[in-house]
Amino acid sequence: MTILATAPAPGFDPPGVEDFQLPPIFDGVTKPVLLFVLAAIIVYAFFAYTSRRPQLVPSKAQFLGESFHGMVRNSIARDNIGPEYLKYVPYLTTLFAFILVNNLFGIVPLIQFPSFSHPGVAYALAIMSWLIYNVVGIRRHGFVGYLRVSTWPPGVPWWVRIILTPIEFLSNILLRPVTLSLRLFGNMFAGHLLLLVFILGGEYMLLHSESILLGVLSPFAFGMGIVFTFFEAFIQVVQAYVFTILTASYIGTVLADDH
């Protein structure tokens, strides 16, 4: 039995993983590294500017900064952590803003690269959140008590606990940073790759293909690229929110008396 594979059109190089391996700009510094630094500067500048002159009747800039901070404080931290939420608001606010800016880089003209489509910093942020909620849990319950709360489900027969305890240990202690980072990285990688397919494909169909039919269809490829740009912007915001709300949820879980 012969399996027929469709080869790419001559002269067209379909986008792939190699499009994310950007060459160094200078001295080993790559575009993603510069974007992470730029994102940190933007986040710092935003909060410094919006809080530089606090007033009882807020200015537009102060209102914008307070609205962002209030959304994280009330909708993420307070709702998921509980009475002790205030001490974690600065970290969660910074986390949300940093991820959001880096994600939105993927649709900013001339930048057009989501920083977290490289997995390294996604892993670093996930490990940071993992360390925070584990340290919080150990401080609250002690090391043995924290393991009990995290891996010993209450109200179930002992023979069920024999099965559930290893699963809970893997899920709550070991795999959370993996799932946190892969969710963020995977969505940013797949979304950017999808945009590359439509934009580069449309360019090839319009400018380089010898087929009249492909030339006629090229506006549809560009149109789908525009549609998916807006969809990708939505996903970028959602993924920043999901990463932050899961971090808050994990902190709230370890602060509770029972798992």
State residue 4's pLDDT score: 43
State residue 238's pLDDT score: 95
What confidence tens digit (pLDDT) does each residue in 29-49 have? 888 889 999 999 999 999 999
Q: Is the pLDDT of residue 244 over 90?
A: yes
Rounded to whole angstroms, the Cα distance separating 154 from 214 reads: 62
Domain spans in the chain, listed from the N-terminal domain onward: 60-257
Q: Is the pLDDT of residue 234 over 70?
A: yes
Query: Looking at 53-57, 59-63, 140-144, which range is the least confident one?
Result: 53-57
Label residue 2 by pLDDT band (50, 70, 90): very low
Q: Note the pTM of the prediction, 2 decimals.
A: 0.85
